[in-house]
Amino acid sequence: MIEHRPFASLGGAHHGWLDAKHHFSFAGYHDPARMGWGALRVWNDDAIEARTGFPPHSHADMEIITYVREGAITHEDSLGNKGRTVAGDVQVMSAGSGIQHAEYNRESETTRIFQIWIVPDRRGDAPAWGAKPFPKGDCSGRFVALASGAAADADALPIRTDARVLGATLKAGESTEYAFADASRRGYLVPAHGRVEVNGLRLAARDGAAIRDEALLRITALEDSELVLVDTAG
């Protein structure tokens, strides 16, 4: 089963400096049918105006993955970590027992990100942060694990949950497949750019596809496309 969630159906809010769209209930947007998907709790599609950002605020017991679609995001936190993550790359914050952080767009143009929250398997661990550049060629024509709780994904950023965050780029007409480990897994797929067909269902850029009871995804790009997929416990 794949449930199509068109971009126009998402919740959201415009704060002037921030234009946010929510795939799941978040802040002032509440839809009891969209409270999460397996361990996946939040998928926000944020456009952050130049030289603005999220001032310091706190989190606990959540795995927060930021995928930068355009521009760059600059991170600062109470552990003393600082870093700038650019388009196509990923940062992970394991909030654990508690951390305060800020996220700023220090660029001269709008930054666009996906921010993905996944519930951890354990609570109260020490907080941590990390970021990693991913060579663009590695994701060409196939899914590559960007952040993962699986020991086998040694090149991915670690997260403390039974989930994988994957990225792929496809040229128009190119196809790829993704197999779930078992029928209990759930997936959530969003094209960051481009249009694709997933098991016969067509998705436009920034649409969501909530996936369950599917052993295999067959994805064909209808135009040059960039994809982000979360594979999580059901």
Task: Output the domain CATH number for residue 164.
Answer: 2.60.120.10
Instruction: Tell me the residue range of the domain where 192 lies.
Output: 2-232
C-alpha dihedral (37, 176, 213, 166), degrees to nearest 10? -30
Q: Strand pairing partners for 48?
A: 18, 111
Give 169-217 pLDDT, tens digit per residue. 999 999 999 999 998 999 999 999 999 999 999 999 999 999 999 999 9
Total structural domains within the chain:
1
Q: Are 94 and 119 in contact (CB under 8 A)?
A: no
Predicted pLDDT of residue 134: 85
What does the alpha-carbon distance between residue 20 and residue 77 come to, in Å, rounded to a whole number? 22
Predicted pLDDT of residue 2: 98
What does the alpha-carbon distance between residue 223 and residue 46 come to, in Å, rounded to a whole number? 23
Predicted pLDDT of residue 139: 86
Mean per-residue pLDDT pooled into runs of 10, the chain (234 residues)? 98 95 96 96 98 97 98 98 95 98 98 98 97 84 96 96 97 98 95 98 98 97 97 94
